[in-house]
Structure 1
Amino acid sequence: MKAKIFLLSEKLFEGASNLPCIKIEFLKKSVDLSSYEALIFSSKNGVLAIENIDKTWKTLPSYAIGSATASQINELGGVVAYSAKNSYGNSFADEIKKMLEGKKALFIRPEIVASNLNTILKDTGVLLDELIAYKTVCGVCKKDEKPSSESVIIFTSPSTIECFFKYFDWDESWRAVVIGKVTASYMPKGVKYILSVEQNIPACIKLANELLFGKKI
């Protein structure tokens, strides 16, 4: 089999083959947004989740962890008050904590948060509530879907690592691209990886192409 670039999710991106080791489940929730002055999103999934819960979220200023999240907010008609310069949760919290100090904000979050974003904001005086609106679960990967030798595997979250290694043992011919330092901290010992300079999927795919084909694109 020909070596490929594998992205471990259901989302389609040009230049990568999908191996859906994870999937997102949106939780049935209700919330009264009338008392909040700001919304905080740490991923595109949070934006999609609140869109399903209460469409009035678009009237509130939104604080986004990165360009992909900000683009999703804009696409659905929301108001981006701030887009993070750094896509790490703790750094994002440091960037916005003074802007939101003393304000009542709602963090639209996943079931498991890999950073201390919520704690940092609360400790700074942000009146923060949290709405667990979605969760990541392992998809079903079959043994015959195992990536071919020399392939490049892209890991975009701690969950992709957990679920990939649930189904497959690491092949030493594979190469791993990891989206950020937090995700990298979950990689099993002994598995070598290359960290993407930018914390977004297109940048990871670009790096994977350079590894696979030996040239920059």
Structure 2
Amino acid sequence: MYILSDKKVKWAKNLPVFKIEPIKADLDFSSYDALIFTSKNAVTSLNSYNQAWKSKPLYVIAPQTAKVASNLGGKIKFVGKEKHGNEFAYELLPLLKNKKVLYVCGSKIVSNLVETLNTNDIICDEAIVYETVCINNKKKIKLPKNSTVIFSSPSTIDCFLKNALWDKSYKAISIGHTTEKYFPSYIKPIVSETTSLDSCVKKALELRN
């Protein structure tokens, strides 16, 4: 099975198809009550050029993102239970009512989080702090028949299919329901239980048995 990034997970091989490039934003956090993160890439990209974010309470989508933020000195206020973007937004509604918050994210936003919060008595702005750039291989990637490929974001779908031809013997694992929506019609992914690569690998191993 293949993970389309450099993240090491037992039983899986790495096949990076993208790179993360920080986008430096001139940010003033003083007017915000809290920050929202749904990606560890947003945390590490922001931290590469700005340390002021650590003074604000953080609302994060999943334990993996919380761990990265906490290790960098962030103050975790809430970790999502649902672990999928749109469901996470609804978890935040009672917690952030009448507050002003900043959603720190990448250039490709795939959930309706900002819209959901703004239509439910929360002021939510967004700050784009990174972009995902596809790695362009000179030769097309060709995987063995019956390979399992783990897709962890809409960008991994885009970048993989720019570099490889999909074979009908392959199996696709989607990290979440939001990513699932971005697959072309000829790929029918299986969605992992939670939005973590470990959970995706576990699902792939179950399919083998």
Q: Name the amino acid aligned to 1:162.
A: D
Ranges of 4+ aligned residues in structure 1 off by more than 6 Å: none
**1:94-119 deviation digits (Å, cap 9, x = unpaired):** 11122112212111011111110001
Aligned to 2:22: 26
Structure 1 residue 14: deviation in Å?
2.6
Aligned to 1:174: 170
Q: Trace 1:138-149 onto structure 2 (pairs within 5 A).
A: 138-143=134-139, 145-149=141-145
Aligned to 2:153: 157
1:124 is paired with a residue whose SS is coil
Matches of 2:100 and 2:76, distance apart in 1? 17
Aligned residues between the structures: 209
Matches of 1:64 and 1:205, distance apart in 2? 22
- TM-score w.r.t. length of structure 2: 0.93
Aligned to 2:5: 9
Matches of 1:182 and 1:60, distance apart in 2? 27
Matches of 1:182 and 1:34, distance apart in 2? 31
Q: Describe the shift of the 1:7–1:142 C-alpha distance in structure 2 as closer, same or farther (beyond 3 A).
A: farther
Structure 1 residue 35: deviation in Å?
2.0
RMSD of aligned Cα (Å)? 1.5
Structure 1 residue 145: deviation in Å?
3.8
Query: Is 1:112–2:101 an aligned residue pair?
Result: no
| Residue segments in structure 1 that go unaligned for 5+ positions in a row | none
Matches of 1:42 and 1:198, distance apart in 2? 13
Matches of 1:9 and 1:155, distance apart in 2? 9
Matches of 2:140 and 2:13, distance apart in 1? 15
1:53 is paired with a residue whose SS is coil
| Residue segments in structure 2 that go unaligned for 5+ positions in a row | none
Aligned to 1:204: 200
| Maintained 8 Å contact 1:10/1:22 | no
| Maintained 8 Å contact 1:31/1:53 | no
| Maintained 8 Å contact 1:61/1:79 | yes
Query: Is 1:49–2:45 an aligned residue pair?
Result: yes
Q: Name the amino acid aligned to 1:95.
A: E
Aligned to 1:79: 75
Say which of 181, 185, 190 aligns to 2:181.
185
**1:49-79 deviation digits (Å, cap 9, x = unpaired):** 2212321211210000111111111111111
Aligned to 1:59: 55
**1:173-215 deviation digits (Å, cap 9, x = unpaired):** 2111111122111111122322212221101011222334x2x
Matches of 2:77 and 2:113, distance apart in 1? 18
**1:84-142 deviation digits (Å, cap 9, x = unpaired):** 01111111111112211221211101111111000111111212221110111211235
**1:138-172 deviation digits (Å, cap 9, x = unpaired):** 11235364221221111111111111111212112
Deviation larger for 194-203 or 110-119: 194-203
